Structures are given as C-alpha cells and as structure tokens.
Amino acid sequence: MNTVEEPRKRGLGRGLSALLGEPVVSAAKDFAGEAVRHLPIEKLQAGRYQPRRHFSQDAIDDLTQSVKEKGILQPLLVRAIAEDSYEIIAGERRWRAAQAAMLHEVPVIVRTLDDREALELALIENLQREDLSPLEEAEGFRRLMDEFSHTQEELAKALGKSRSHVANMMRLLGLPQPVRQMLEQGELTAGHARALLTSEDPVGLAQKVVSQGLNVRQTEKLAQGGEVKSAAKPPKVEKDTDVIALERSLSNLIGLHVTITSATKGGVLSVHYNNLDQLDGVIARLSGR
C-alpha cells in the first residue's frame, strides 16, 4: 500500500490509521500529494465491499442535478482489478449520478489496495459519513469485528462514536426479520427498534407501534408490559367560508394553489408550486421584477 503524508489529526484519518496500523489518507476526501486521473465511466464497476444495500433515488436525482451543474467535485477512490478495469472503493453514488448526468468520465484517485484494505476502507468510509441506514451501519460494525477482529472500543475510537452507540446499533441485528424490514423501510426508527428488543413479541408490538403511530417512549412502556393510551385525534375544524373564498381569489390571481391556515393568533399563508419556474414567477411578483 502506498504511504502518504500523515493525515490531519482528526476524525477518520486518525482512527483508520490506528486500525490499519500505518499512516493512510483518511478517506476519499483527503488526497494531498496524490494525482487525480480521469477515467471513462465504463471502466469503473461497483465495489464488492459496498455496505450500502439501498440507494435513495431522490438522493441520486439531487446529486445528478448537482453533477450536471457543477461536475464531480470530489474524486472517487478506486483500485485496479484488471487491465483497464477499476473497482470503486468510495464514491459509488457519485458514479451513479455521473452516469445519470451522461458524463463520459469521472475524476478518480487510484490506490493499490488488497482485499482486506479495500473492504475495511469501504466500510469505514461509509460508516463515517453517517448516512447509512441503521441496519447497514450495524452490519458494517459486525463485519469489521468479525472479519478484522476489531473490538467495539476500537471501532468507537476510529469512527468518533461512543462505545454504547456501536453496541446499541449492533443489537439491532438480533431483531426478527419482519421488524428489520419495517426498520429498513422507515416505518420504525432505530429508537423504536431498540425498545422492541426487550419485548416478548417484538413483531406483534412493532405492528401495533406502526398502526397506532406510537413514539419511542410509548414503545418502551409497552415493551416493559405497561399500557399506553391512544392519542385522541384532534377534532376536525371546518374552514370558514370567507377563508375559502379568499384562497380561491388568491389562487386565481397568481395562478397557483393557495391555502390559508388559521391559528389562535394569526395564521399561515401557503403558496404551492410544482417546479422551479413557478417558484421563480412568485418571487418575481413579490420582488416587483
């Protein structure tokens, strides 16, 4: 593995250096002294050690728009796996966005990494970003411990997290599959899921939590055998006919849907738009352009 300058003493650089036992560049963000190359997109392939199982299409779409406007600002980290073929270690979302933006090539940093280094760097780089799902994060911790014999203390120090955070996230892997699926789909939060671990019937309780919209504190109480009262639905307030008429008049005036929500003191006037052109039109009117 190529040696480089000592990383700045913060965050992942120090932690990863400690885990690998040698000075390394912290992640794809730090490339001091390394040459940036531009490679055709078709010569790159997704990493085998990518811990992320799900890519948000909305996030990819947002990144694609940014790439169209500004290009790829941060090089991808890759390694050569065959003649003229490269595997992505960090930056798969940028690669996907570049394809959607119809770019022909992307900036990369090519590193010489063996399988162990590639796996460990990919896992830690993604965990450090803190945008993995709870189960993806937990699985990343498990792989680092099982495949590299790291302790929870080492991982916590390397990633700038508490040992209790690492331990609590890994406990999620003990949930039944139906509950894990609810967590993966966003129906439950990690807080809900941790509370369910103490329940004798985590699946049944999870279904109740989702159907009744219970918060974490209520879930904890139920898991301990207590009872919670279902929140009473607020009475539906009929909108005043004068307010409805005013909404209609304003909507006709500006050509966009307008809603008025009254409160005890004052209220909220909302203008709904479908695209940026419509928003620009509203701003133009308000600014007198």
Tokens 């129906």 locate to: 187
pLDDT at position 150, please? 82
Catalytic residue list contains 220: no
For residue 283, how many other CB atoms are within 10 A of its CB?
10
Residue of 79, 75, 188, 77 lying closest to 135 (CA atoms): 188
pLDDT at 27 over 60: no
> Is the pTM for the entire model greater than 0.75?
no
Phi-psi domain of 130 (left: phi exceeds 0; alpha: psi -120 through 50; beta: other) = left
Assess whether the region 11-132 and the region 176-223 belong to the same CATH fold.
no
Going by C-beta distance under 8 Å and a sequence separation of 6 or more, which residues neighbour residue 238?
A: none
pLDDT for residue 283: 76
**What are the structural domain ranges in the chain?**
11-132, 176-223, 241-287
C-alpha distances in Å from residue 188, one per residue of 27, 39, 200, 227, 273: 31, 41, 18, 19, 31
Please report which confidence band the pLDDT of residue 108 belongs to, taking 50, 70 and 90 as the band edges.
very high
| Active-site pick, 6, 83, 92, 154 | 92
- Residues 34-49 pLDDT 10s: 788 899 999 999 887 7
For all residues of the chain together, what is the average pLDDT?
A: 77
What letters, b where the CB count within 10 A reaches 16 and e where it falls short, cover 68-86?
A: eeeebeebbbbbeeeeeeb
Q: In the prediction, which pLDDT does 9 show?
A: 32
Query: Which CATH number does 176-223 carry?
Result: 1.10.10.2830
pLDDT average, residue stretch 3-21 = 38
Right CATH for 11-132 from 3.30.420.40, 3.90.1530.30, 1.10.645.10, 3.40.50.2300? 3.90.1530.30
Taking only the tens place, the pLDDT of each residue in 211-237 is 988 999 999 888 888 776 654 455 556
CA atoms within 13 A on the CB side of 150: 28
Calculate mean pLDDT across residues 99-123.
Answer: 86
The position carrying tokens 């892997």 is 173
CA distance 284 to 161: 47
